[in-house]
Structure 1
Amino acid sequence: MPFSCKNGRCETPRWMRNVLLAAGLYHILFAVWAIFWPCLWFDWIGIEHPNHPLLWQGIGFMLGVFGIALVLASKSPMRNWRIVLTGLLKFTLGIVGFVTPIVENKIHLRSVWMLFVDDLIWWAPFAVILWACVRAHTGVPPTRSEPYSVEEAAENYQLSDGRTLAQASENKLLAMVFLRHFGCTFTRQILRGLEEIEREATEHGADLVLVHMLQSGKETAYLREDGGISRIADPRCELYRAFGLGKGGFLELFGPQVWWRGAISIFKGCGMGHLAGDGLQMPGAFLFRDGKIISSQRARSASDLPDLPQLFKALPARNTGASSGFPLPPELT
């Protein structure tokens, strides 16, 4: 879902604000109806009047307050995500509360229209808005509204040895592996096989560089004996953005393939840990030289692991590299 955040304020698509406004106005009108005509709803769905209409009027009053909250929240859905969450819970409980008596023949089937207008039509858009809220509030917000170009990022980001990425890639091939958060079972799987990944890079004349989302130095708690590998700290994920790696969608992060591979990874002993980084950030792997990307593997799902042999196979041929401006290292010519 496209949105951008700048100076702590997130701009959202207009339809999100319109949905919250419409839902708010609907609940306010429903409250007026329930308060002034408390028995009419029961007549329409074909069940007996309540013994205490005042109770139904009280429910109407609460829905009216909720409607006002939705109208106010429509001005900034990202900031008012708690109200969006409350609305989604209300619609979910309303659907369950309607479906159960309908299935048990306690309410006539003709009351389904009320289920539709009161809960069903709101559930899906509220779920999408809430997911956008999760994406907006997860991780450290970037300092720039526009992402760095690759060249700008190479000049601004430093490796753990103090060199800029541009300096480190000058006449040298870098195999850059962008990690998900350190608590992710797939990141743990990568770190378990880090020695093999480093060997594969060395055999092709490349230096391995790990890019992570923690503050510089904090990653050593997870790398253990592999702390000698060059690293780049990117807590705001601006280097990720420059390399074309964004936040994952729902299926990319929680799709069937991710669950299946995750179960296998955990079964192998990789386990899971606490969230250490942006849990929505997608990973990837790149070959980088002289400030340019010459081969890339952008993950299609959170479970995709770096495949360095395929990454090196994707290097352009010698004549292609010369014509495209991507010089190859001496080891590969």
Structure 2
Amino acid sequence: MNDPASHAPRWMSTVLRAAGIYNLVWGAWVVLWPEWSLRVCGYPEPLNYPQFWQCIGMIVGVYGIGYWIAASDPVRHWPIVFVGFLGKVLGPIGFLWGYSQGTLPLSAGRINITNDVIWWAPFAAILWHALRTSADRPARDPAPLDLSSAIGTVRSQSGETLSELSAAKPLLLVFLRHVGCTFCLEALSDLAKQRPEIEARGTRIALVHLSDEGVAGELFRQYGLDDLPRFSDPDQRLYQAFGLKQGRFLQLFGWKVLSRGTQAAIFEGHGFGGLQGNGLRMPGVFLLRDGTVVASYRHQTTADRPDYCELASGGRQSTDVRHNGSGL
């Protein structure tokens, strides 16, 4: 199977090579002609200690070599991009501090535009892609599962498959976020409250989580849900089989997510936990009957709060309902 790290969009390598060339040329200019470059970059006379300026040029040039290396595989070499990105953020901050203190003229900030600011967006996009790719890479078994295999072969902590669990009665399969997420804790609280009504309607509940069994079992015990069938899926094979993808930036960090997260964590008392598992994976809910998905709910943002009782009754509240028995 091909390494996902080799699948970065071509433009990322192009950007990093351009950054490498720029840094090497700029660094050579500063090292070879320090006084000329100081004047062009907006520093006033007298030009004291040009040797320090030459040292900066040398450092910038070395970064250029790093960017050229990173261009061969932007995902694998993301630490080089990250260090460069930090420098491009901290450089303008340092200039603004110097300007506010009266030690640097405003004209000295012009170099921050070409050295730093214009690279923020592409470097940030490369780092975001690297994060998503790394989080999506299975930890142990890279072999993907199709939906029928997932339903028929993956077993819960008690040894039952989804096909077996949904044969006797409908099964509400809830895919959680990582167990440190406040929305995961909110979902467990909602399930605990709605469980009596869901089961009274003749539907069972099963949970899918990204943690090791011991960690998740202890957490579910706190909500009185430790007797439910559950599937430990740190390799995210079930999530992928059911079509639950990694969230886009706004789905994970948009204003709605941040405001709802603050409300759920602080005002509703669900709190925050540490990152455990892939924090980018989106949750979802599926209703299964006789091993077939008959209704589904895919979160549009991580802040979505489904009504599990309605979903258990046939998915009337679902955003992605399929009642024709054809699965996903």
* Bin of the TM-score, shorter chain as denominator length: 0.7 to 0.9
Alignment of 1:273-288 (within 5 A): 273-288=273-288
Deviates more, 1:149-158 or 1:120-129: 149-158
For 2:257, the aligned partner's letter is V
CA RMSD, Structure 1 to Structure 2 (Å): 2.7
Query: Hey, what's the Cα distance between the residues in 2 that align with 1:191 and 1:315?
Result: 21
The CA deviation string for residues 255-304 of structure 1, in whole angstroms up to 9 with x for no partner, is: 11111111111222111112222111111111112332211111111112
Q: In the alignment, which residue of structure 2 is the partner of 1:118?
A: 115
The answer to whether the Cα contact below 8 Å between 1:155 and 1:166 also exists between their aligned partners in 2 is: yes
Instruction: Find the counterpart in structure 2 of residue 314 from structure 1.
Output: 315
User: Runs ≥4 in structure 1, deviation > 4 angstroms?
Assistant: 5-10, 98-106, 142-147
Q: Deviations over 1:148-169 (max 9, x none)?
A: 3211211231122212112222
2:176·2:209 contact (CA, 8 Å) conserved in 1?
A: yes
SS in 1 for 2:112: helix
**Cα displacement string for residues 49-91 of structure 1 (whole angstroms, at most 9, x for unaligned residues):** 5311111111111111111011111111111121111111111
CA contact (8 A) 2:194 2:309 kept: no
The residue aligned with 2:290 is 290
Q: Displacement of 1:211 after TM fit?
A: 0.5
CA distance in 1, matches of 2:134, 2:326: 38
For residues 255 and 71 of structure 1, the distance between their equivalents in structure 2, rounded to whole angstroms, comes to 33
Unaligned 5+ runs, structure 1: 328-333
Match of 2:204 among 192, 203, 207: 207
Unaligned segments of structure 2, at least 5 residues: none
CA distance in 2, matches of 1:321, 1:301: 20
| Structure 2 match to 1:107 | 105
Which residue in the other structure is 2:253 paired with? Answer: 254
Q: Residues 123-163 of structure 1, C-alpha deviation per residue, up to 9 Å, x if partnerless? A: 11101111122222337626677743211211231122212
- The residue type equivalent to 1:258 in the other structure is V
Deviation of the 1:227 alpha carbon: 0.8
Alignment partner of 1:84: what SS? helix
Which whole-Å deviations, capped at 9, do the CAs of 1:14-65 have from their partners, x for residues lacking one? 1111111111111011111001111222222442253111111111111111
C-alpha contact (below 8 Å) 1:177/1:306 kept by paired residues: no
CA distance in 2, matches of 1:69, 1:76: 12
Tell me: CA distance 1:42–1:87, structure 2 relative to 1, closer, same or farther (3 Å): same
- How many pairs were matched up? 318
Report the identity percentage. 37
What's the TM-score, normalizing by structure 2? 0.87
